[in-house]
Amino acid sequence: MVLLILVLLCFNGMVYVNSQKVPAMFVFGDSIVEVGNNNFLNTLAKSNYYPYGIDYNRVATGRFSNGRSLIDFIGNMMGVPSPPPFLDPSTTGSRILNGVNYASASGGILEESGRHYGDRLSMGRQIQNFQSTLNQYKTMMNPTELNQFLAKSLVVVVTGNNDYINNYLLPGLYASSSNYTAPEFANHMINNLARQMLALYSLGLRKIFIAGVGPLGCIPNQRATGSAPSGRCVDSVNQIVGFYNTGLRSTVEQLNRDHPGAIFAYGNTYGVLGDILNNPAAYSFSVVDRACCGFGRNRGQISCLPLQLPCLSRERYLFWDAFHPTESAVYVFAWRAVNGPPNDVYPMNIKQMSVV
């Protein structure tokens, strides 16, 4: 109860976490942390229209939320501004001094994931874009300053969702479920992600938070299209995701053993959202089985469309649209990622990472 009160006070802007300021954040991943890169791509995966942003000063920025994103909250807690999207032409010069956001909706760990939506930035392309940013930094700082800047900066990685939702779980469009068993596919994802994290390490980044995949079988899209009874999560999907999360946590342990000068942390997305699903009233949620904005069964068959009228009590909903949590739900995960115990974020939380 004390934790819940603190979370709610923080959410209302009355209390903020005191922490040592990190110089910058670098963000990689998908629509959970997207802040507008897809606005500049030829893709169907866009959210630059109302009612997205209805609680973000009624401005649709490209965040896949009714309000603020995970990165907005983490940045606020850590005392660093939420970084701008890489593809915005104005993201240059002084605007990159607090970091850059490379995340792209429908992009995944694997290059092919999300291809049916059109263009997107896969993790591989996002890392290439970081190298472009790095070249800009080299003109702004001397080598010693740059090394210290990168080593103290926070990296947030939220990916893997589209490798399931927009790849493995779409057998009509992708062959992965025919080519791989669920454990094999999880290993395929993890091996690729491990190489990508080592690439970031080789470029000078040292504090890397990697979020696991949440209970995808409980999102409105899977409830609507899966085989589970009405009101139930699709257990088979959650079991598939479990192989990835177990492997990712082990990989984080191995990365830390192999690179003692760095800190890699695993965020237990599945556990945090599972807590909300199992006990929503403790977090002041009352609707966890359908979206606030969308159409069809569980409002998850067709996601939020332009000018659609969303639900009114958005703070009571766990899910904003067919795929994404509300601002309120994202805040809970952000708070626990920054402050939580090892069950939430392992081996240490983001606040602890910032002072190592």
Catalytic site positions:
31, 321, 324
Other C-beta atoms closer than 10 Å to the C-beta of 282 total 12
Angle at 143 between CA 142 and CA 148, to 5 degrees: 100
Rounded distance between C-alpha atoms, residue 199 and residue 321, angstroms = 33
8 Å CB contact between 77 and 335: yes
Strand order from edge to edge, sheet including 207-211: 99-101, 25-29, 154-158, 207-211, 263-267, 345-346
Q: For the chain, what is the total number of helices (H) and then of strands (E)?
A: 12, 10
Q: Exposure pattern of 219-257 as b/e (b: 16+ CB <10 Å)? A: bbbbbbebebeeeebbeebbebbbbbbebbbebbeebbe
Q: Residue 157's beta-bridge partner residues? A: 28, 210
Query: Amino acid identity of 316?
Result: R
Rounded distance between C-alpha atoms, residue 227 and residue 356, angstroms = 46
In this structure, the strands spanning 99-101 and 287-291 are unpaired
8 Å CB contact between 123 and 111: no
Residue 211 Cα distances to 19, 208, 217, 251, angstroms: 21, 10, 17, 12
Rounded distance between C-alpha atoms, residue 241 and residue 236, angstroms = 9
Greatest alpha-carbon span in the chain: 60
Task: Name the one residue in this structure whose structure tokens are 């947030």.
Answer: 156
